[in-house]
Amino acid sequence: MTELVLIWVFWVSLALGIYVYFIYPIILAILAAIFGRKIRIDESADLPHVALLIACYNEESEIERKLENSGQLDYPSDRLLVVVLNDGSKDATADIARKYAADHDGPKVEVLDFEINRGKPSAIYHGVEWLKENHPEIEIVAFTDANARLAVDALIILMLPFSDEKVGCASGLVRFEIPDNVPSGDMEDLYWKYETMLKRLSSRLGSLPGGVGSIFAVRVEAYHPISEKRGDDFELPVQTVIDGWRAVLIEDCRSYEPPSYDFITEYRRKLRITGQMIPSALILWWRALTNGRHLVAFQLCSHKLLRYLVPFYQILLLVISALLWSASPFYQVAFLVQVIFYALAALGYFVERAGMKPPKILHVPLYFTMVNMASFVSIIRAATGQQVTWVRNR
């Protein structure tokens, strides 16, 4: 009886892992083929008044370059307001931004200087509230990161779908500027190609489960964060869908970012992101269910919640295949394959800790294990009530 239970748990865990990475995309593709539609764009419509918000924390090395990039955007300067949200930086971020605003022509630049570092979502929340009170002409709020470089036409392209009054949120894409000696960047780029495929299918359904932090936008009237501390590129697009708007992906809207320069730095970044997203995903999933938004509830369950549980499937598969060693040669092979895979991941970790570049054969095991380790640690931290803070991992 015990052996039958172990076998059942083994195959359920394996099936869930296969579902998350392979079956769910197939189901999403079928839904998009049956129910999807193209984005309606009226190129003759007037361009909206836009505020471009740049949330910053200790970005003195990036902020001037970012403001220069914002000033070069192909968007009418009388319809664009650039707002720097300085979230309690300990460096000269705010001073540099104010000097740039005073010395340069082009789109108007305003600096909101928050004394206390409360985190990016909080800075965004207070920034949007300030916009509503001081700039009622703003129709669309666009968000970007201090280290992201936007294509010259990125903002004007991102605004096109808002000619459809049913669109509440639009997101662009990020491309990583990867130096030859950054193996973590190659894997992050591969990961984003997979994510982009899912976003493309979701966009056809008007149900984009998360935007790209480097460039996305929301109608002011559709801006509805979960709370002051939960409203960024994941929560805001999903909430617009729950509220009855369409959220879409605009692939021609491009932004560029440098990747993390090693797997350890990327792990810290993933840890911060997943730590923020796991509670948000649970809240949004429940909101979607209770509001009858079953498609986005299905997406959140499949693409977020079940995926975050992958490290627990991994642990069960490893332990159970060891316990079933004498039951069948299949479980012996399964156990040995897993041990080899995790040994390669560990080897990659120690090679990088020693200051060397891991060989390519170690990239996939190390990246896959790193991502799921971040999910595992984030779930443990969330379960024990530990808070996620905004730290600069570059």
Return d(Cα 58, Cα 312) in angstroms, integer.
Answer: 36
Are residues 230 and 164 in contact, defined by beta-carbon separation less than 8 angstroms?
no
pTM: 0.91
Residue 224: its pLDDT value, please?
95
Q: Using a CB cutoff of 8 Å and minimum separation of 24, what contacts does 100-104 make?
A: 100/63, 100/64, 100/67, 100/68, 101/67, 104/67, 104/71
Residue 139: its pLDDT value, please?
98
Residue 259: its pLDDT value, please?
74
Closest CA to 388 of 271, 233, 285, 296: 271
The length of the chain is: 394
Return d(Cα 337, Cα 61) in angstroms, integer.
Answer: 45
Residue 262: its pLDDT value, please?
76
| Letter string b/e over residues 73-96, b meaning 16 or more CB atoms within 10 A of that residue's CB | bebeeebbbbbbbbbbbebebbeb
- Tell me the domain boundaries of the chain: 1-35+263-394, 50-259
Question: Which segments of the chain have a pLDDT < 50?
Answer: none
CATH superfamily placement of domain 50-259: Spore Coat Polysaccharide Biosynthesis Protein SpsA; Chain A (3.90.550.10)
Residue 184: its pLDDT value, please?
55
Coil, strand, or helix at residue 117?
A: coil
Return d(Cα 109, Cα 81) in angstroms, integer.
Answer: 6
At which residue do the structure tokens 């990016």 appear?
120
At which residue do the structure tokens 């911060």 appear?
272
Residue 44: its pLDDT value, please?
81
Contacts for 39 with CB less than 8 Å, ≥ 6 apart: 161, 164, 167, 203, 248, 250
Residue 181: its pLDDT value, please?
59
**176-192 per-position pLDDT tens digit:** 776 655 555 566 677 88
